[in-house]
Each structure stands twice: as C-alpha cells, then as structure tokens.
Structure 1
Amino acid sequence: MTHVIPKSPISKTKVYVVKEINAPHFDPTFHSHPEFQLNCVLQGEGNRFIGNNLTSFKAGDMVLIGPHLPHVWRNDNEYFDKESRLSTTVIVIYFHNHFFGDALHLKDEMNQLDSLLKKSERGLEIYGHTKKTVSRMMRKMLGLDGMDGVIQLIKILNVLTKSSEYHFVTHNYQISSNTEAETTRMNKVYEYVMRHYKDTISAVEVASLVNMTRTSFSRYFKSRVNKSFSDFVKEIRIESACKLLKEGNMNIDQIGYECGFQTLSNFNKQFKTVMGKQPNQYRNEFLKVTTDSYRY
C-alpha cells in the first residue's frame, strides 16, 4: 500500500481548493493535512474514522475538520471488489485560515468564525437545515473561481458560524506532534481491521504488522484512540451489523456471523453493550421510524 501522509491539497498560490470527486471508492488511506476540510458525501457509504471516533456514513454526511486531525472515509469492502459497479461522489473544500490574516484573532467581527474554526479541531458533524443549505452552496461553488469563489467560501463559513446544528465528532483526542508517523502506523492497523473484521483478528498479528509487541501495541493503541483494540474491533463489527439490520435482508443470527461474531449469544451481548439494545429491538425501531416517515 502507498501511504500519502500527510497530504497537502492546496498550493501556496491558492486560498482554497474545491472539487467534486467521482470514483469507485474513496481514498482508503488514514491521513492528515494542515488545511481545514469541509466534506459532503453525495454518494457512497462505509465507515468514517476521524481522530478517535468511528461511525458509519452514507450520502448526506457532512463534516468540518480542523488542521492535522487524522481521518478517512472508507467504503464498505464490496466497493473494492474488482467486479463492483458501486461508485462514490463527494464535494470537498480545503482552505487555510491565514487568508484572513491577523483579523481572525484580533477583530470583533471575526469572533464567531474564530470560535467555529477552533471547534473544528475536534471535527464538527453538520446536520439539519444547515447541512441542506451548505450542500447547495458547495455545489454552486464548484462553478465559481477567483474572488467569486472566495466570497462563496466566506458565505458558507458565515452560515456555519450562525448555526447550532452541529456536534463534535471526537472526544478527548489529542493530535500527536509526530503526525506522519502516527497516521502511517494507524493506517496500517485500520486498513487491516477493515479488511478482516469478519474473521478472527489476532492482536499479536496486528502488533507485528506495526513492529510492536502485543503489550506495547495495546498501550499505544489505547493512548491514541482512547479505547482498547478489542473494543475498536467490536465497534467496527457492530457498525457493520447496524447496516445489515437496517437493510433487513438477513436474519439476526446470519448478521452476527457475517460481522465476525462466533455465536448468537455473544452477538446479542456485544450489540447491547455498544448500542444499549438488542439487535431485534434496533431493527424494529428502525423499521417503525421508516414506516412512520412514509406515512406522513
């Protein structure tokens, strides 16, 4: 695997870069860069890993990420199959904050924007009416250049500063000063787990992958992700199970085996630990919400 870490998508002559990316799957490399990033997924689904937070994503996912916060949107494994006809689309804006100069920190008019950008250091997931508005503005920005594009970026940031429709993505996450080495190592771990979570995963094998002993790897992983390696694997399996439960094409015991759980009882127990409810309850509640939304 080639590790392009860290990435730097803006040349020194640019204020921002905006682009729409269409590809069979998103770049699966866990990486970071010094720019802010506003990301809006239009098509595709999988798992999103930002800092120490893991969750699933689908079309409509919108996140603002601060500088040097490691992240990856990794599609489900079927997107990587050679015969796959699946595809992805994302609009992404990269920008520096220094184009505002000292005014960002010193002028009263910039207080709200300064606060927003500081919050984005933990990642901000945008939702609700704000997400719909910003999504339309990002689409429009694709057709703009020069000062028109800069003005549109400022308008987008202005909408975000006035909104309360967002929540933090990461919790208690500290960005390492050795970002390149950290992301390279974590990328190896993350990529391996995402490819093999349906199988039995050995912590010893993963530790050797990053040239560490099992004990040192366990300490390292927990200090970086704020959870044990076994809990991390469990959460990935549960996220996958949630998708299958929503699709409704498999019975619950099949889903458990498909997601790497050896017994139905263990699947039920681990699912309740993470989600606070049994798999059948989760599926029934989802189906009820879906039915009610169609009714109204």
Structure 2
Amino acid sequence: MKAAIHKSSVPESQTFMIKYLEDNYFDPVWHSHSEYQLFVPLEGTGTRFIGDSIKSFEPNELILTGSNLPHLWRSYEAYFEKNSKLKIRGIVIYLQESLLGEHLMNKEEFVQLRKLFKRSQRGLEFYGDVKQKVIGLMHELVELSGLEAFIHFLKILLLLTTTKEYHFISHNEYIHPPKKGETDRMSSVYEYILKNYRNKIHLNELADLVCMTPTSFSRYFTLSNNKGFAKFISELRVKHACKLLTETDMSITMVSERSGFKTLSNFNKQFKDEMKKKPSEYKREFLGL
C-alpha cells in the first residue's frame, strides 16, 4: 500500500495551510507528518486511531495532533462500497511549530503556544464552548486569505492555548516519525484488521501479510501500538459494540455477536474492562433512560 510520511507539507510561502475536504471517504492510510494538524470532521463516521488510542468518531469532533503523531481516520466499510452514496466533509489546518519563525517563537509571549504544541504530542480532543467557537472560526477561515486569514488563525490559536476544555488522546508521545517501511506495514495491517475484526483473526495471518514470524510480529505490533494484538482487537470490537448499542435497537446478545464476540459472558467482561460499565448501563446512560 502506498503511504506518505509528509502528506501535506505547508508551503514555504505560507505560515499555515487550511483545506476543506469533501470526498467519498476519509483517507484510509495510517500516517504521520511533521506538521501539527487541527481537524474537524463535518460529515462522516468511522474509527479513528491516534497514537495508541482507538475510538469511533462522529461529526464535529475537534482534534489537534502533534508533529509525527501517527493517526488515521478510517471511514466505516459502508463508505467504501461500490454503489455507496455516503460522503464525508471536513476542515483541516496544517501548521509548523516554527510558524512565526524561531526568533519570535522563543519570546515569552509565546510560552503558552509552545506548551500547547508540547501537549499535542499526545493528541488533544477539545470540547465545550471552545470547541464550538473554534469550529466556527475554522468555517470562516476557509473563506479568508492574506493578513485577514492570518489574524483569524491567531484567534484560533489563542482559544486553544488558553482553554482547559480538552482531553489527552494517546497515552504516549511520538517524537520520531515512523520510517516509510513501518508506515506501509502498519497501513496494510490496519486495513486487514478493520475489514475482519468482527471475525476470528489469527496472528499468523497478519504475520504472513507483512512477511514476519508470529513472534516477531507480536512484538512489533505491541511496540507500535503500546498494546498487544489481542487487546487491540478487543478494543475495536467494544467500540463497535458501543456504536450498535447507541444507534440500533439490537439486544445485548445480538450486539455481542455482531461485534465479533463468541460468548455473551466474554463480551460483558471485555466491555466492562474497557468502558468501566456494563453494556446495559452504557446504553441507558447514553440514551438518558
């Protein structure tokens, strides 16, 4: 699978770059780049991978990923079907840590901005009033250019540097970018897993996919994801179960089966380990029952 380490570098003539995305699905390639990335999906759903975090995503999430932090917004399989009419939209801003030049960035006025960049190495998910304000500013920024756009962009950075309305996403920082070979391998692994995780996946299947022994692949996967293969699959299944619990009227037993769990008891255990509550409790709380 083709993968690019630098997917969208900011031109030397610009301090940042903003893009309005509109396509059939979000880019399915696991990747990283030196730019910091502020992203809001406006339409479309799927599973996102940021560092060692796995979570379903929906429209209007506001995420800042740091330099070289691996990430992937993977649309659900329905978006890839041949006759699918589903669409995605989003706005993404790319910026470099040296966007104001090293001379200015080292001044005391930009201490908070440097701290924001440091925090973003684990990925940040914003919420509350600041999220709504920033998304509104991003919509406006798409239509602006020149000095007016730059001033508007600084307003966004000001909101992000001064708010406490955020959660860390990944447990670990990713300082060094993955090598292209690693990007290619993990992209193919993620693609295979996301297509098959609701079925039984044997470790040797993935090991063969990337031409490794099962033992070597298991060690490599754990180092790359900060969790073992079995834990990774279990998290994916639980997150899919969360989606079914909140978006359908399926019984708990049916949700368990459709998410890839072989027994209801194992589903209940894995779900509670991951979500800290029973599936029935999760559904009641989400629906406000």
**d(CA) in 1 for partners of 2:117, 2:189:** 29
Q: Structure 1 residues 60, 178: CA separation in 2 closer, same or farther (over 3 Å shift)?
A: closer
CA offsets per residue over residues 149-179 of structure 1, 9 Å max, x none?
1111111101111111112111124444543
- Amino acid of the structure 1 residue aligned with 2:138: M
Contact 1:103 1:110 in 2 (8 A): no
Q: 1:104 to 1:185 in 2, by over 3 A?
A: farther
CA displacement, residues 260-294 of structure 1 (integer Å, 9 cap, x when unaligned):
11222221222122112221221122122xx6xxx
Alpha-carbon distance in 1 for matches of 2:168, 2:28:
23
Match of 1:164 in 2: 164
Deviation digits for residues 245-271 of structure 1, max 9, x if unmatched? 001331111111111112222212221
| Structure 1 residues 213-224: aligned runs within 5 Å | 213-224=213-224
Question: How far apart, CA to CA, are the structure 2 residues paired with 1:177 and 1:41?
Answer: 24
| SS in structure 2 of the partner of residue 227 of structure 1 | coil
The equivalent of 1:9 in structure 2 is 9
Q: Classify 1:281/1:178 alpha carbon distance in 2 versus 1 (closer, same or farther; 3 Å).
A: closer
Kept in 2, the 8 Å contact 1:104–1:114? The answer is: no
TM-score normalised to the size of structure 1? 0.93
CA contact (8 A) 1:23 1:87 kept: yes
**Quick check: 1:277 aligned with 2:273?**
no
Sequence identity (%): 44
Q: How does 1:112-261 map to 2 (within 5 A)?
A: 112-261=112-261
Separation in structure 2 between the aligned mates of residue 72 and residue 104 of structure 1, nearest angstrom: 32
C-alpha separation in 2, matches of 1:179 and 1:106? 30
CA displacement at 1:105 relative to structure 2: 4.3
CA contact (8 A) 2:36 2:67 kept: yes
Extract unaligned runs of 5+ from structure 1.
292-296
Looking at structure 2, the residues matched to 85 and 74 of structure 1 have their Cα atoms a distance apart, in angstroms, of 17
Give the deviation of 1:67 after TM superposition: 1.2
Q: Distance in 2 between matches of 1:259 and 1:175?
A: 34
SS at match of 1:93: strand
The verdict on how the C-alpha distance between 1:23 and 1:177 changes in structure 2, with shifts beyond 3 A counting, is closer
Deviations 1:74-95 (A, max 9, x none): 1111111112222111100111
Letter in 2 for 1:272: K
What 5-or-longer segments of structure 2 have no aligned partner? none
CA distance in structure 1 between the partners assigned to 2:134 and 2:104 by the alignment: 22
Secondary structure class of the residue paired with 1:31: coil
CA RMSD, Structure 1 to Structure 2 (Å):
1.5
Aligned with 1:99: secondary structure?
coil
Using the TM superposition, give the Cα deviation of residue 219 of structure 1 relative to its aligned residue in structure 2, in angstroms: 1.1
CA distance in 2, matches of 1:178, 1:31: 8
Which is further off, 62-71 or 247-256?
247-256
In structure 2, how many angstroms separate the alpha carbons of the residues matched to 1:285 and 1:66?
33
CA offset at residue 104 of structure 1?
4.7
In the alignment, residue 260 of structure 1 is paired with which amino acid?
G
In 1, Cα distance between equivalents of 2:243 and 2:158: 35
Check 1:36–1:154 CA distance in 2 against 1; reply closer, same or farther (3 A cut): same
Structure 1 segments, 4+ long, off by >3 Å, are 173-179
Partner of 1:294: none
Determine the structure 2 residue equivalent to 1:31: 31
Q: d(CA) in 2 for partners of 1:132 and 1:122? A: 22
- Taking the aligned partners of 1:104 and 1:122, their CA distance within structure 2 comes to 25
Q: Aligned ranges for residues 81-96 of structure 1 at < 5 Å?
A: 81-96=81-96
Compute the TM-score of the two structures, normalised by the length of structure 2: 0.95
Moved more, 248-257 or 67-76: 248-257
Which deviations, in whole Å up to 9, do the C-alpha atoms of 1:91-147 show, x marking residues without a partner? 001111223112454211111111111111111111110000000000000011112
Q: What letter corresponds to residue 241 of structure 1 in structure 2?
A: A
CA distance in 1, matches of 2:178, 2:281: 43
- Alpha-carbon separation, structure 2, partners of 1:178 and 1:41: 25
Q: Secondary structure at the match of 1:160?
A: helix
